[in-house]
């Protein structure tokens, strides 16, 4: 209830500030004009094409990052020697800001989807990998010894011991990667010019269509909220059995 009040207050502030002249309307159009611009946008096919482009780039990038991150994490995490050998390299590569790769991506792949995908995959891969590594390292020593005495095969051990332990961490990694991938998708579109919502924002900005630009920014925000809510509920469903998801009684 209070939350609705807060949201209403925020919209009212956005409406009132430019109308009362507190902020020049040229910089911040009133909320009603942003809403009108949004209504105008959704009637055009280009908006939906851009939205679909953004979602596709995001989904491809995320899928590649998750598959590679989980596979690499399971492999590196299960072999102690690999873990020791790679840790310094992972620690070095991870903090490299993915946007540093933008000029490289443009040169090698032009302004197409591949250039943006490179950024998306690079940024979200590390989120997944690091979490999976933490997860694999967290296997209970007693359970591991038990599996050893029961002579479980490597595959059985992976499926019944390592995977359930690492799953909550992996899911956290995927949740982080999901929002990082969305940010980088829109960044790539904005800076590189890959087709999508980010490019539409850049076009609106350079053509001076201020309300339309704000409308598209609002859409990216709503997209972000939707993605956050979806991953959080997916996490709850997938980890229903896990102690961290139990409700206190």
Partner 1 sequence: MKALKVIALPAVLFAGWWVLSAGSKDFYRPPLRTILVAFADTWFGARIADDVLPSLARLGAGYAVALVLGIAAGVVIGRHPAVRETVEPVLEFLRAVPPPVLVPILILVAGIGDLMKVLVIVSGCVWPILLNTVEGVRAVDGVLADTCAVYRVPPVRRMVLRAASPQIVTGARQALSIGVILMVISEMFAARSGLGFTVVQFQRGFQIPEMWSGVLLLGLIGVALAALFRLVERSVLRWYHGQRAAEKQH
List residues binding partner 1 (CB under 8 A).
Answer: 2-7, 9-10, 26-28, 84-89, 92, 94-104, 106-108, 179, 182-183, 186-187, 190-191, 198, 201-202, 204-205, 210, 213-214, 216-217, 220-225, 227-228
Compute the least distance from the CB of residue 118 to partner 1, in Å.
12
Integer Rg of the chain from CA = 23
Compute the least distance from the CB of residue 153 to partner 1, in Å.
29
CA dist., res. 176 & res. 170, Å (int): 10
Q: Which is nearer to partner 1, 157 or 212 (CB)?
A: 212
Question: In this structure, what DSSP letter does residue 41 have?
Answer: H
Q: Which is nearer to partner 1, 25 or 167 (CB)?
A: 25
User: Which token pair is 63?
Assistant: 């899928």
3-state secondary structure of 168: helix
CA dist., res. 124 & res. 193, Å (int): 20
Q: Which is nearer to partner 1, 55 or 202 (CB)?
A: 202
Compute the least distance from the CB of residue 26 to partner 1, in Å.
8
Q: Which is nearer to partner 1, 129 or 157 (CB)?
A: 129
Q: Which is nearer to partner 1, 124 or 157 (CB)?
A: 124
Compute the least distance from the CB of residue 149 to partner 1, in Å.
25
Compute the least distance from the CB of residue 161 to partner 1, in Å.
21
Give one DSSP letter per residue of 176-188, joined into a string: HHHHHHHHHHHHH
Strands (E), the chain: none
CB atoms within 10 A of CB 234: 14
* CA 138 centroid distance within chain: 25
User: Which token pair is 210?
Assistant: 């201020």
Q: Which is nearer to partner 1, 70 or 212 (CB)?
A: 212
Compute the least distance from the CB of residue 232 to partner 1, in Å.
11
| Residue 11 backbone phi and psi in degrees, to 5 | -65, -40
């Amino acid at each position: 209830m209070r939350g609705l009040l807060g949201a209403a207050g925020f919209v009212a502030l956005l409406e009132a500030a430019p109308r009362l002249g507190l902020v020049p309307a040229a910089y911040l159009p009133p909320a009603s004009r942003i809403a009108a611009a949004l209504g105008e946008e959704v009637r055009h096919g280009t908006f939906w094409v851009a939205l679909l482009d953004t979602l596709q780039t995001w989904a491809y990038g995320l899928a590649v990052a998750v598959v590679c991150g989980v596979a690499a994490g399971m492999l590196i995490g299960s072999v102690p020697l690999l873990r020791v050998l790679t840790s310094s390299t992972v620690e070095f590569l991870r903090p490299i800001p993915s946007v540093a790769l933008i000029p490289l991506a443009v040169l090698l792949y032009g302004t197409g989807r591949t250039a943006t995908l490179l950024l998306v995959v690079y940024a979200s891969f590390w989120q997944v990998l690091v979490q999976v590594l933490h997860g694999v390292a967290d296997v209970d020593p007693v359970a591991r010894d038990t599996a050893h005495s029961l002579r479980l095969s490597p595959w059985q051990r992976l499926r019944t011991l390592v995977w359930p332990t690492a799953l909550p961490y992996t899911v956290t990694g995927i949740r982080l990667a999901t929002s990082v991938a969305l940010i980088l998708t829109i960044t790539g579109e904005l800076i590189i010019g890959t087709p999508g919502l980010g490019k539409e924002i850049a076009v609106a900005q350079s053509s001076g269509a201020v309300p339309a630009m704000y409308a598209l920014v609002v859409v990216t925000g709503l997209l972000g909220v939707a993605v956050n809510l979806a991953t959080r509920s997916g996490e709850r469903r997938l980890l229903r059995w896990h102690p961290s998801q139990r409700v206190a009684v």
